[in-house]
Structure 1
Amino acid sequence: MVLNPLLTLITLPLFFADVYHDGDFVITDAYPYFAAIRFWSVTFAFTSLVYFFFATKDFMPQHKPMPKFAAIKIVVFLSFWQSILFAALNHFSVIPHTELWTSDEVATGLQNFIVCIEMYLVALAHRWVFSDEPYIPASGRWGLRSWAVLHVLSISDVIDATSDVIRHVSPLGASSPKLQEPPTPN
């Protein structure tokens, strides 16, 4: 949580200084070092979560922790390792240039396409793993769904926000009438 944003902030000036090139496994480039740091970070985080899982799994069997653990970790695993895999395949010229795209663009496009498909499948898995069944009121699922649909279609939030803006912001210009200030509590 701390290291990844920090590495991203450090990457920006290195990128503009032409020292960081995403996917370049060259010793003079910063990418392989940042990939190694992220590798160790992801490995440490994964190992810590495995230890946490085994330490707490007997205390929460009713919550089915194994599928939840797997559903979360697969997102991190797939996105991180695929980026490294496609970068390596591109670097070692396994991914060819095409008439329309460079090998960098092909690698990026393939990774993005595969991630889109995987995240759709992961979303379906999350729907099953993180079920809403424990939170459904006694009135049944339709009562909850109808409330959610009515809430989404309601424009009362828009009306409330608009009236707040009108009440608290006076219009600019001398010819515009001034709005009354809201009364102050005594």
Structure 2
Amino acid sequence: MLGIYPNWLSWTFTIILNISVSLALYSLLVFYHVFAKELAPHKPLAKFLCIKGVVFFCFWQGIVLEMLVSMGIVRSNHFWLDVEHLEEAYQNVLVILEMVVFSILQKYAYSAAPYSGEVDAKILKKRE
């Protein structure tokens, strides 16, 4: 923000953050794989993909936008709007569009069925 850090340091932190987030995602997938049978009535994979999709789409589109700015593909042609604000505006518009899609997906992933007794009935049928 103040311009006191070199550009390579920002990319180094981005790479470290990417490795950390990817390792956390891998750990969650391993956890799901181990407990898939026990969690099946609650459809955790759909919930997992919705939430992690939001996080990763925002993260990766920010990286892509930053790369486009650093390569000079995204430029500002207005004297009153610098390229950093333009990049932020693109990021915000993309997040808004993604949230519309993810809100529809989350409506199905987080349905009210588990709270209506249907899941309990399915579990009891499987046990019999």
> Matched residue of 1:19: which SS?
coil
Alignment of structure 1 residues 31-46 onto 2, 5 Å? 31-46=10-25
Please report how far the alpha carbon of residue 31 of structure 1 lies from its aligned counterpart in structure 2 after TM superposition. 1.3
Q: What letter corresponds to residue 70 of structure 1 in structure 2?
A: L
Secondary structure at the residue paired with 2:49? helix
Deviations 1:85-117 (A, max 9, x none): 111111110112122522222211111100011
Q: Which residue of 2 aligns with 1:98?
A: 77
How does the TM-score come out when normalised to structure 2? 0.79
Deviation at 1:50, TM superposition (A): 1.1
* Match of residue 108, structure 1, among 85, 88, 94: 88
| Alpha-carbon separation, structure 2, partners of 1:19 and 1:47 | 34
Structure with higher helix content: 2
- Output aligned runs, 1:101-180, within 5 Å: 101-136=81-116
Residue of structure 2 in register with 1:64 after alignment: 43
- Asked if the contact 2:42–2:114 (Cα under 8 Å) also holds between the matched residues in 1, the reply is no
Counterparts of 2:76 and 2:115, CA distance in 1 = 51
Taking structure 1 as the reference length, the TM-score comes to 0.56
* Cα offset, 1:136, TM superposition: 4.4
SS of 1:60's equivalent? Answer: helix
Contact 2:69-2:83 within 8 A present in 1 as well: yes
Gaps of 5+ in 2: 118-128
| 1: CA distance, partners of 2:67 / 2:25 | 22
Match of 1:162 in 2: none
1:63 CA drift (Å)? 1.4
- Structure whose CA Rg is larger: 1
Distance 2:114 2:41 in 1: 11
| Runs of 4+ with >6 A deviation | none
**Residue segments in structure 1 that go unaligned for 5+ positions in a row:** 1-14, 138-186
Q: What amino acid is aligned across from residue 59 of structure 2 in structure 1?
A: F
Q: Distance in 2 between matches of 1:72 and 1:65?
A: 11
**1:79 aligns to what?**
58
Deviations 1:122-151 (A, max 9, x none): 1221121011233248xxxxxxxxxxxxxx
Tell me: CA distance 1:80–1:43, structure 2 relative to 1, closer, same or farther (3 Å).
Answer: same
Equivalences, count: 116
